Amino acid sequence: MDRRTEILRRAAEIFARKGVSNTSVEDIANAIGVKREAIYYYFRSRIDILLEILLPTSRTLLNSMRLICRTDLTNREKLKAALESHLSEYTPGYIEMTVAFREEHFFADTEKASELSETWDEYGKLWTDIIIDGQEAGEFNADLDPKMISFAILGMCNWMSRWYNPSKDVSIEEIINTFFTMSMDGVSTLPKEQPAMKNPDAA
Q: How many domains does the chain have?
A: 1
DSSP the chain: --HHHHHHHHHHHHHHHH-GGG--HHHHHHHHTS-HHHHHTT-SSHHHHHHHHHHHHHHHHHHHHHHHHHS---HHHHHHHHHHHHHHTTTTTHHHHHHHHH-GGG--SSHHHHHHHHHHHHHHHHHHHHHHHHHHTTSS-TTS-HHHHHHHHHHHHHTHHHH--TTSS--HHHHHHHHHHHHHH-S--SPPPPPPPP-TT--
Domain extent at residue 180: 53-185
**Residue 2 within a domain:** no
Give the residues of the chain that fall short of pLDDT 70.
Answer: 92-93, 103-109, 192-203
pLDDT digit string, tens, across residues 32-52? 999 999 999 999 988 899 889
The CATH number of whichever domain residue 91 belongs to comes to 1.10.357.10
Which pLDDT value is given to residue 113? 81
Q: Please report the pLDDT score of residue 174 as a whole number.
A: 92
Q: Is residue 170 one of the residues assigned to a domain?
A: yes
The answer to whether position 115 is within a domain reads: yes
pLDDT computed for residue 163 by the predictor: 86
